Amino acid sequence: MTGPTDKVDVEAQARRAEEFRSLHRGRILVLPNAWDVPSARVFEDAGFPAVATSSAGVMVSLGHRDGEGIGIQNYVSAVKRIASALSVPLSADVVGGFGDSPSEAASSVKAVITAGAIGINIEDFVHQTKKLLPVRRQVAKLEALVALKDSMKIPFVINARTDALRFGTGDDRAKLEEAITRGRAYRDAGVDCVYPMGLTEPAAISEYVEALSFPVNVMVRVGLPPIGELGRLGVTRVSFGPSASYAAMGLLARASREVLDKGTYQTLLEGAISFDQLNELATKRR
Amino acid sequence: MTGPTDKVDVEAQARRAEEFRSLHRGRILVLPNAWDVPSARVFEDAGFPAVATSSAGVMVSLGHRDGEGIGIQNYVSAVKRIASALSVPLSADVVGGFGDSPSEAASSVKAVITAGAIGINIEDFVHQTKKLLPVRRQVAKLEALVALKDSMKIPFVINARTDALRFGTGDDRAKLEEAITRGRAYRDAGVDCVYPMGLTEPAAISEYVEALSFPVNVMVRVGLPPIGELGRLGVTRVSFGPSASYAAMGLLARASREVLDKGTYQTLLEGAISFDQLNELATKRR
């Protein structure tokens, strides 16, 4: 666990944060979300210029449901393990900041950045109630993070997620408008990117990007247009969300059915990596 | 971490150990090895009557190469997370026992059983040197574990692995004979099952089983006959080893190539589980 005595190499972290920040300019950034060390390292080996955590993936992997129940200390330890094994920048999801107040959120983000991340995602709803936080309260949290960026002298990338499309009130149109209103408020609070969870329709994506004139993050899910089209729609970054975990668990379920029903191992063996390759994924690339 | 003050529910653990033990009688036992909580829970949901850890899978997942470098405390914490999320019995690999002496091995196994496992695998080689331990030293370790089983009053299943087929001396024939000699010595030390790593050829499996007249464990790998044939060859149990990790990492590599080369997400989305399904895998089945 990253403790208060942990020292950050501010210059190295600042350089890495700038490296990650620069990936948000130019070509669309495709950001794969990992759940543990080897899943992150596979993404790095595949050629992604940066990697993110999936909070749901990390938490479930460690026996906690998505949310803040894992506790900030366990979560930061996981971020530190992953960051320590990567040579590319790591962005970490911090759920709602592990706390209600701006100062708690800032303290959580500080721990995550100290652990090696150089970007964060933060949500605007409460997991237990599935209710959106009032915009002003979320803006206060975001302002605390912007201030933290200055005080740490590490220009980490703040990706402000809104769940208005899921937990807003009214019909789809009203929810999209709420997501736009929140996106603008978060943008004006000084974040670097806005992430409307659940935005998949090309027309809605286009409207959202135009309404904000600001970097927008979308997540891979059924119905999301291919990367090329997302680029044409003006999307700045597309992240996997927990889909790598969903895919891996689906694979294990299929492999199990094959073994139990047919007594064969094709799903387990086909396209698998080797023992030596797995072992190499435990630590930094040589 | 399981500490010296942790109390074991001896009766419940003994019942669970008996449950696992009984699976070694009758039909061949297929034992899937997991690397974390959700991978273990997927196997339970699929209908496997017990689950095992893959030490390589668990360790790499947490940023450590296969071996004892992770440290017994971190490893036991991982075993505890997995055991706590399962309703079926869990068997845990303990590498070489996390220590050279019989008393160190017994202390490590005690911690793993206290953490919730009711079976263990133990190896007879040293990871750093890839050298087999002298048979007498391994037998002394195994005898200490048999004594522990009695003193804990928990009849956990001891699966004694030999790496003679990999690290023995001489040609393949000499290595097989060394594996048989070791298997007999471990059997006579009072273990419950013998696990000759790398045994895949039907003729060699048959010879091994006949030479020992004792429960034998084989591992899934390319070339292993299907479960039905293994049953006919007299194999008592077949385990996945780290193959679920190999398969999952292979899948992520393929999904990465598809996203980076084609900009599409079919490998990520096809056959994937949902967010709610992933979340359910964090904790015990309801």
Residue among A39, A42, A44 nearest A58 (CA): A39
CA separation for the pair B41, B47 (Å, rounded): 10
- With an 8 Å Cβ cutoff, are A282 and B65 in contact? yes
Q: What is the pLDDT of residues A180-220, one digit of tens each?
A: 999 999 999 999 999 999 999 999 999 999 999 999 999 99
Q: Work out the minimum CA distance from A221 to partner chain B, whole angstroms.
A: 7
- B5, B80 Cβ separation under 8 angstroms: no
- Contact present, B256 and A42 (Cβ < 8 Å): yes
CB contact (8 A) between residue A273 and residue B259: no
pLDDT of res. B286: 85
Percent of chain B with pLDDT over 70: 98
Scan for tokens 């790591």, then name that residue: A90
- The residue of A251, A262, A264, A270 whose CB has the most chain B CBs within 10 angstroms, and thus the best one to mutate to test that interface, is A251
Residue A284: closest C-alpha in chain B: B63
| Single pTM value for the model | 0.97
Cβ neighbors of A59 (< 8 A, separation 6 or more) are: A65, A66, A67, A69, A70, A75, B282
Question: How far apart (Å, rounded) are the C-alpha atoms in residues A264 and A259?
Answer: 5
Confidence check: pLDDT of A2 > 70? no
- Give the other-Cβ count within 10 Å of B274's Cβ: 12
CA distance A102 to A175: 25
- As a whole number, mean pLDDT of residues A8-35 equals 96
Per-residue model confidence (pLDDT) at position A286: 85
ipTM of the complex: 0.96
Among A221, A259, A262, which residue's Cα sits nearest to residue A240? A221
Per-residue model confidence (pLDDT) at position B8:
85
Q: How far is CA B24 from the centre of its chain?
A: 14
> In angstroms, what separates the C-alpha of A219 from chain B's closest C-alpha?
11
Single-letter code of the amino acid located at A74? N
For chain A, give the mean pLDDT: 96
Contact call for B252 and A62, based on CB within 8 A = no
Q: Hey, are the CB atoms on A271 and B247 less than 8 Å from each other?
A: yes
Least Cα distance to B272 among A128, A252, A273 occurs for A252
**DSSP summary character for residue B216:** B
According to the model, what pLDDT value does residue B243 have?
Answer: 98
Provide the pairing of β-strand B125-126 with B131-132: antiparallel
Per CB-CB distance under 8 Å, the chain A contacts of B250 are 271-273
Single-letter amino acid code for the residue at B190: G
Contacts of A64 in chain B (CB under 8 A): 282
Interval A127-176: pLDDT, tens = 889 999 999 999 999 999 999 999 999 999 999 999 999 999 999 999 99
The dihedral sign for the CA sequence B219, B225, B228, B229 = negative
**What domains are there in chain A, each with its CATH number?**
4-243 (3.20.20.60)
pLDDT of residue B7: 78
Phi, psi (rounded to 5 degrees) for B239: -115, 155
Question: What 3-state DSSP class applies to B158?
Answer: strand
Nearest to A272 among B250, B274, B278 (CB): B250
A256/B42 CB distance under 8 A: yes
Query: Which residue from A minimizes the CA distance to B59?
Result: A282
Residue B2 pLDDT class (50, 70, 90 cuts): very low
Integer Cα distance of B218 and B241 in angstroms = 9
A1 has pLDDT over 60 = no
Region at B57 (left for phi over 0; alpha for psi -120 to 50; beta for the rest)? alpha
CB B119 within 8 A of CB B17: yes
A188/chain B closest Cα distance in angstroms: 31
Q: CA of A164 to nearest chain B CA: how many angstroms apart?
A: 18
For B192-232, how does the pLDDT look when each residue is reduced to its tens digit (9 = 90+)?
999 999 999 999 999 999 999 999 999 999 999 999 999 99
Mutate to test the interface with B, among A256, A261, A267, A286 (most CBs of B within 10 A): A256
Q: What is the pLDDT of residues B54-102, one digit of tens each?
A: 999 999 999 999 999 999 999 999 999 999 999 999 999 999 999 989 9
